[in-house]
Structure 1
């Protein structure tokens, strides 16, 4: 009995010391973070608004945190390919993803893609909040949004492109079209805003529905015409573009957010470090200038605040999509 008692005591001491050593190692990892390069996953093709945001923030983080933050694109599956890569990464803060509403709340509710956002991820911070806009070629002969609907009525095979099937732009506009008599349009998905814009410029689709920033250089050059934009009031970047609300289409509202997330078991201390570094980056005058030039509306929210939004959207869109099946 005494021997068993001694063995139990030794085991308890070993577990205690190993626990203390583990906790110390964990705290050292947080204190020393980052001590090597960090990967930022972009769920869409290079050149689009998500890629631009990721690169601007990555450069600021590199300046402020002393390590490289490398952006890689993993497009496909309406963001599912990238989200799965991020979910399966080691939860140590060295892999993060710049994600948005669609891959977080629409994609996993439309099909079994292998992740549940509220359960599998922790948000670091929201960085932006975008309106959507509909655009056509400036020389298309379509001068306004009502003319686009009239064109679709006369031409049943009229196409519109978005950055991916099942994402917010697709769901929102398809729902709107379903309420319009004889104005059906065929959806063509692409792997990001840059690809969709290229298709529009090449005349492969009649219109696109995207985050408004995707159009900026082509809007300024006069190559594309924006017909309508979401929001309660006109955008200062596109002052001549009416809102859907102005046009009497109040069912088309909202937009999408972009923010950073990590696998769920990432240490709280590392998440907080990243959150504060991202907040500092958004307050940096150089970052603000680059965001403004790219028509990116910076809108910071903390990780816990974004987690609440993601959880709410995940539930609400899950109910909407199930009821529409």
Structure 2
């Protein structure tokens, strides 16, 4: 008599397993959402929207890009971390996720450990830029101006613990100046205030400032990277100006909530690999000053590990607080 409940449980488990397998085989059977944790029109948003077209074609499904800005990408990242791990809500993450745990130590979730990597997408240099109407033609002139009146000059960023914030903080730390931080909900609104003259300085990624440098509204003083970006060949690197350690660019990569089935991650990764091979997408990203990265799962894990090794001691030294 006791055999039949056992058989029923076994049959039920088998049916659940078969249903799960069928669901994975059909993935994706509805719209996939990519959350961008920054404001619209910033580089992360533009890269994601360019990618979504090719990624959707590779998946055979529509991709919707949704902006959830705020708290230096914390709001959008948390939304995805707490979403169902089914592959239908994923995040365009990046170097910011390496920084967040050092600033928001009270979090009950982890900006890196609560995700699984889908694949790296693109990399952009970070820059320091000024309104073209300011008198500063070089980084040395900007540094001299702040030293003349310490703490009198402010800089904008995409938010606390974003790469744009950390680049300026590293400049403060290395050359002993006191640029004061004003965080925004993304790079785009900060760029708008820079062009309007409300702030004199900002650190940003190259893609977010390149169009305004080309139009003469913004002057870029220096860029990260071991070599100059082809899109800004006249702008010196920080290393050329004698500031070591400022060669980290702004990488972007897709992640899914922890617990997402490996079969789903593999499908997303295969579609991403196909999308990034598109000449049309590479051209679009190039116009933003971005270059594509190796989308393999192993490359994603290696990049995160390398960044944590480089930035963890730096962030402990800076001891940044939520603002």
Local SS of the residue matching 1:213: helix
Local SS of the residue matching 1:119: coil
The residue correspondences of 1:34-73 to structure 2 (distance < 5 A) are 34-73=28-67
Matched, 1:195 2:189: yes
CA contact (8 A) 2:206 2:288 kept: no
Tell me which residue corresponds to 1:259.
Answer: 253
Local SS of the residue matching 1:249: coil
User: Which protein has the larger Cα radius of gyration, Structure 1 or Structure 2?
Assistant: 1
Tell me which residue corresponds to 1:19.
Answer: 13
2:295 & 2:275 partners in 1: Cα distance? 13
Q: Which residue of the other structure, out of 82, 95, 102, is the alignment partner of 1:109?
A: 102
Local SS of the residue matching 2:116: strand
CA contact (8 A) 1:122 1:307 kept: no
* Structure 1, unaligned runs of 5 or more: 1-5
Local SS of the residue matching 1:93: coil
CA contact (8 A) 1:107 1:113 kept: no
Query: Structure 1 stretch 66-75 or stretch 39-48: which is displaced more?
Result: 66-75
After TM superposition, give the deviation of residue 316 of structure 1 in Å.
5.9
1:244 to 1:318, Cα distance in 2 relative to 1, 3 A: closer
Tell me which residue corresponds to 2:161.
Answer: 166
2:308 & 2:229 partners in 1: Cα distance? 28
CA contact (8 A) 2:128 2:221 kept: yes
* Structure 2, unaligned runs of 5 or more: none
CA contact (8 A) 1:38 1:93 kept: yes
After TM superposition, give the deviation of residue 16 of structure 1 in Å.
2.2
CA contact (8 A) 2:126 2:167 kept: no
CA contact (8 A) 1:42 1:82 kept: yes
Query: Structure 1 stretch 167-176 or stretch 85-94: which is displaced more?
Result: 167-176
Q: Which residue of the other structure, out of 210, 216, 233, is the alignment partner of 1:216?
A: 210
Query: TM-score normalised to the size of structure 1?
Result: 0.92
CA contact (8 A) 1:80 1:113 kept: no
1:110 to 1:12, Cα distance in 2 relative to 1, 3 A: same
CA contact (8 A) 2:78 2:111 kept: no
Matched, 1:129 2:129: no
Tell me which residue corresponds to 2:286.
Answer: 292
Local SS of the residue matching 2:54: helix
Tell me which residue corresponds to 1:3.
Answer: none
